[in-house]
């Protein structure tokens, strides 16, 4: 099984989509509850949103095949919490975003299996990500890492009420320059179609925080999208008509990263 796909681009921009995959290997799925086997907490269709934009811009795209239920690529390998004190799913989570167990009684992965999943899925993705950033920096002297994510508009376990449409995270300003954050925020402020937040509930996960190093020439930004703006959250079906406006705004933001 291919662990990930990497499309190498020609400009200093890498789009990482660590939760795009929904595949769950049979040996894992057999131990999961039926509802979990659908991988409902996938960042549905983010590749469909981003890949046409990446092709037009000449950006690189990295995406996994496996579901975040196999291993969460946007969590540190040591399992450290991203948001201490708040309820969240983990590196190899045993609960979904609804707080319900993913596994049948007594069938959750043990420590040895967690380490195996890290070795087989987590490490190859991060090795590819680091190598691609190094290539872009070597060729261009800099790189921007764009973390593309999406989530249901309402997830009571993770946040109260309805999430803003566009959620920009820069590790509270640590993962990119103040100038880049200001330009991206200005692009959100200049439109009235979508609500937004900057470093709100989603400030950037492990990938944004770990790889973002503006002093070393790597700027990292995470964008968490509300899914109802481009798909049906109940059926997971993509909505082409809705997606047009979402893609247009993302495209403007990606162009800013290359400016």
pLDDT in tens, 123-156: 999 999 999 999 999 999 999 999 999 999 999 9
Q: Look at residue 83 and tell me whether its pLDDT is greater than 80.
A: no
Nearest-CA neighbor of 166 among 208, 197, 187, 189? 197
pLDDT at position 84:
76
Q: What is the mean pLDDT of residues 243-258?
A: 98
pLDDT tens track for 178-222? 999 999 999 999 999 999 999 999 999 999 999 999 999 999 999
Q: What is the mean pLDDT of residues 225-250?
A: 98
pTM of the model: 0.96
173: how many CB neighbours lie within 10 A of its CB? Answer: 13
Q: Look at residue 86 and tell me whether its pLDDT is greater than 80.
A: no
Question: What does residue 198 show for φ and ψ, rounded to 5 degrees?
Answer: -120, 120
Count the domains in the chain.
Answer: 1
Q: Which domain holds residue 112?
A: 4-258
CB 221 within 8 A of CB 188: no
**Could you identify the residue written with the tokens 């402020």?**
189
Nearest-CA neighbor of 202 among 88, 63, 54? 88
| Position 88 confidence tier, pLDDT thresholds 50, 70, 90 | confident
**CATH of residue 111:** 3.40.630.40
Q: Look at residue 1 and tell me whether its pLDDT is greater than 70.
A: no
Please give the structure tokens belonging to residue 235.
Answer: 């059926």
pLDDT, mean over the chain: 96
């Amino acid at each position: 099984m291919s662990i990930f796909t990497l499309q190498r681009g020609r400009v200093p921009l890498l789009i990482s989509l660590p939760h795009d995959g929904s595949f769950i290997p049979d040996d894992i799925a057999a131990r999961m509850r039926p509802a979990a086997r659908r991988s409902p907490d996938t960042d549905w269709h983010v590749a469909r949103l981003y890949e046409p934009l990446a092709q037009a811009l000449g950006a690189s795209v990295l995406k996994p095949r496996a579901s975040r239920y196999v291993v969460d690529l946007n969590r540190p390998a040591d399992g450290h919490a991203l948001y201490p004190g708040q309820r969240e799913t983990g590196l190899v989570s045993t609960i979904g975003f609804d707080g319900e167990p993913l596994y049948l009684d007594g069938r959750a992965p043990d420590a040895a299996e967690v380490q195996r999943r890290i070795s087989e899925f987590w490490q190859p993705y991060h090795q590819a990500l680091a190598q691609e950033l190094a290539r872009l920096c070597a060729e261009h002297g800099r790189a921007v890492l764009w973390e593309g994510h999406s989530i249901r508009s309402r997830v009571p376990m993770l946040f109260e009420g309805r999430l803003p449409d566009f959620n920009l995270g820069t590790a509270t300003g640590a993962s990119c320059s103040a100038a880049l954050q200001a330009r991206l925020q200005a692009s959100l402020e200049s439109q009235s179609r979508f609500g937004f937040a900057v470093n709100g509930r989603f400030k950037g996960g492990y990938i944004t925080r770990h790889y973002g190093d503006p002093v070393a020439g790597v700027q990292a930004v995470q964008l968490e999208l509300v899914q109802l703006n481009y798909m049906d959250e109940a059926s997971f079906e993509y909505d082409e008509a809705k997606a047009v406006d979402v893609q247009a705004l993302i495209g403007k933001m990606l162009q800013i990263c290359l400016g």
